[in-house]
Amino acid sequence: MKRFITIITLMTATIATAQNGKAITEKKTFSRSTSVATEIKADPAIVWKLLTNAADFPRWNSTVISIEGKIEVGEKIKLKSTLAPKRTFKLKIKEVEADHKLVWGDGQGTRVYNITGKGNTTTFSMTEKIGSFMFPLYAKHIPSFDQSFEQFTADLKKEAEAIQNLKK
Amino acid sequence: MTTELFNAEFATITGQLKSYLLRMTASVHDTEDIVQDTYIKAVGKLNTFRGDSSLKTWLFAIASNLAKDNLRAQKRWTENVGDICREEAMGNQQFFQEAMQIRATSPQGAFEIKEHITFCFTCISKSLPLEQQLCLFLKDVYEFKVNEITEILNTSEAMVKYYLHTGRAKMINIFDGRCAIINKEGICHQCSELNGIFNPKQKFQEELVKIEMAKEAASGDKEHLFDLRMKIVQEIDPFESGAAALQLHHLEHNRIVMEKYI
C-alpha cells in the first residue's frame, strides 16, 4: 500500500511538472520519449491555428527555422529545426483531428500534439518518441530535446496568449 | 425598417463600403458591381434585418460575402507586387502618358506621398490570406469591434483575433523590409521616385517630414509605425481624395499586371 501511494505521488508530481512547461525524457533501450505540457490562457482554436499554419511557424517559434508544405493529413512537410540546423526533416502528417490532435513523423520517430480545453483555457501537450531496433547504436548522437521542447511550448504559450489578449 | 429609411441609411454607408470593396478587390468595376449586388440583396431581405447589429455591420457582412465569392477563385498577390508592377510600368510608355495626362488635367490628379502610402498598402495587403486582409481592414481601417467582425465574417472571436494578429505581424514585417520611409535599409523607394516624376519641383524630404510616420521612423517601434500607417490609410478615401484619379489609374495597371503574373 505504501509503495502504491509513493507511485501515485510520483505520478502526480510528474504530471504537475509536465504541465508547467518542463520537459520530461524517458529513456529505454530501444527508444526515447520526450514530453512537455502546459496550460495556455487562450482559446484552443487559436493554439490549433498556430500549430497548423506551417509557413507562419518561424515568426513565433524560435525553435523552427522553416516548415515547407501544408499541415494536412497525408501531406509531407520539410522541417528545419534549430536543434539540427543543417538537416531537413521530411515528415508525413499522419493524423489531424481538428482542434485536438496532430501527429507527424518519419521512420524514426513520431511527434504527437494534443490540445484540450474550453473557452479561454487550453491544455497543450507534445510528445515525441524516437526509436527502432538500431536505436542503441545511434542514441548517443541524438541531442536532448528537453530545452527545445520547453522553448517551443513557451513560444506557443506567449504567442497564443498575445492573440487572446488583443484589444476587442 | 422601411425601404425609404434603408435607402437613406445606405447612402450614408456607401462611401465606406465602396472604399472597403476597392481595397479588397483592387477593381473599380468589381467594386461597383458588388455595391450594387449588396444593395439588391439587402433590399431583398430587409424584412430579416432585426437590428441585432447595426445596419452598417449587416451591410458589410453582405458585401464581405459577395467579395469573398468574387475573390475565392483568384490567386492572392505577392508581397513584391510593387517591384513586379514597377518593372512592367517602366516598359509601358502608354501607362506614363495616361498618368501624366491625368496629372495635368484631372481635378483628382494630384500626387501625394500619403496617397501612395495608402495605395501601396492596398496592393501589399492583397498578399495576405483573404481572412487576414478582411480582418485587418475591418478592424484597423473601418474601426469595427472584434465582436462586429465575428458577425460580418461569420466566424468566432478567437479566429478574428488570430487573423488580425497574424495579418498585422506579416504586414509589419513586409513594410519593415521594404519601405525606405521607415527603414533606411528598405528596398522600396517608389514614393520618392513617383514624387520626382509627378512633382518635379517638390523636395521629397521636405514633404516627407510632414508625415508623422516618417518623422517617427527613427524610433524603430515597428508596431507604432504600423499604427501610424493605418491612420494614414484610414484618413484617405480612394474614390474621393485629391489624388483618386491618378491612384485608381495606377491600381488598375497593377491589377492587370498581377492578374497576368499570378
> Range with the lowest mean pLDDT among A97-101, A141-145, B26-30, B102-106?
A141-145
DSSP label of B138: I
Is the domain of B151 the same as that of B208? Answer: yes
CA distance to A51, B37, B99, per residue, from B106 (Å): 51, 30, 10
- The residue among B17, B53, B52 whose CA lies nearest residue B36 is B17
User: Is B147 touching A (CB cutoff 8 A)?
Assistant: yes
pLDDT for residue A7 is more than 70: no
| Cα of B158 to nearest chain A Cα, Å | 6
Q: By percentage, how much of chain B surpasses pLDDT 70?
A: 100
pLDDT at res. A168:
82
Q: Is B212 in contact with B235 (CB distance < 8 Å)? A: no
Which of B158, B159, B169 lies at the smallest CB-CB distance from A59? B169
Residue-averaged pLDDT of chain B: 95
- Non-local (6+) Cβ contacts of A168 within 8 A are B145, B146, B147, B157
With CA atoms as reference, the chain A residue closest to B169 would be: A59
The verdict on B27 and B149 lying in the same domain is: no
User: Average pLDDT in the A92-98 region?
Assistant: 98
- Give the chain A residue whose CA is nearest to the CA of B145: A168
Residue B134 shares a structural domain with residue B91: yes
Three-state DSSP at A96 gives: strand
- Nearest by CB to residue A45, choosing from B145, B158, B166, is B158
CATH value at residue B33: 1.10.1740.10
Model pLDDT for residues A64-81, shown as the tens digit of each residue: 999 999 999 999 999 999
What does the pLDDT read at residue B1? 81
pLDDT for residue A11 is more than 80:
no
User: Which top CATH class is A2-164?
Assistant: alpha beta
Provide, as residue numbers in chain B, all residues whose Cβ is less than 8 Å from the Cβ of A45: 156, 158-159, 162
pLDDT at B113 over 90: yes
Q: Give Cα A125 to chain centroid, integer Å.
A: 6
Q: Is the pLDDT of residue A127 over 70?
A: yes
Say yes or no to pLDDT of A8 above 80. no
Q: What residue has cell string 488580425?
A: B164
CA-CA distance, B186 to B181, in Å (whole number)? 8
Q: Are A67 and A59 in contact (CB under 8 A)?
A: no
Determine the residue type at A103: V
pLDDT at residue B11, rounded to an integer: 97
CB-CB under 8 Å, B164 with A49 = no
Query: Residue B212 and residue B46: Cα distance in Å, rounded?
Result: 43
- pLDDT for B216-253, tens place per residue? 999 989 999 999 999 999 999 999 999 999 999 999 99
What average pLDDT does this structure show over B40-45? 96
Choose, out of A118, A120, A156, A163, the residue to mutate when testing the contact with B (most B CBs < 10 Å): A163
B131 with B205, same domain? yes
Q: Is A94 on the interface with B (CB under 8 A)?
A: no
pLDDT at position A17 is 46
| Residue A16 binned pLDDT confidence (cut-offs 50, 70, 90) | very low
Domain count, chain B: 2
> Which secondary structure element, helix H or strand E, spans residue A6, and what is its range?
helix A2-18
Q: What percent of chain B has pLDDT over 90?
A: 93
pLDDT class for B54, splitting at 50, 70, 90?
very high
pLDDT at A3: 53
Domain residue ranges in chain A: 2-164
B108 and B147 in a common domain = yes
The reply to whether A163 touches chain B by the CB within 8 Å rule is yes
Whether B99 and B121 map to the same domain: the answer is yes
Q: Are B32 and B135 within one domain?
A: no
Asked if residue B108 lies in contact with residue B245, where contact means CB atoms within 8 angstroms, the answer is yes
Question: Phi then psi for A118, rounded to 5 degrees?
Answer: -155, 150
Opening angle at CA B245, ends B242 and B250, nearest 5: 120
- Chain B residue closest to A43 (CA)? B158
* CA-based nearest residue to A114, from A163, A51, A62, A26: A51
ipTM surpasses 0.90:
no
* Contact flag B164-A43 (C-beta cutoff 8 Å): no
Higher-confidence residue of A10 and B168: namely B168
Verify whether the Cβ–Cβ distance A49 to B159 is below 8 Å: yes
pLDDT > 70: what percent of chain A?
89
Q: What pTM value is reported for the model?
A: 0.91
pLDDT at B165 over 60: yes
At B14 the pLDDT is 97
Task: Assess whether B106 and B205 both reside in one domain.
Answer: yes
Domain end residue (candidates: B52, B74, B96): B74
Judgement on whether residues B87 and B68 belong to the same structural domain of the protein: no
CB contact at 8 A, B70 and B25: yes
Q: What is the model's pLDDT at position A70?
A: 97
A65 touches chain B (CB under 8 A): no
Which chain A residues have a beta carbon less than 8 Å from that of B227? none
| Domain limits for position B177 | 76-261
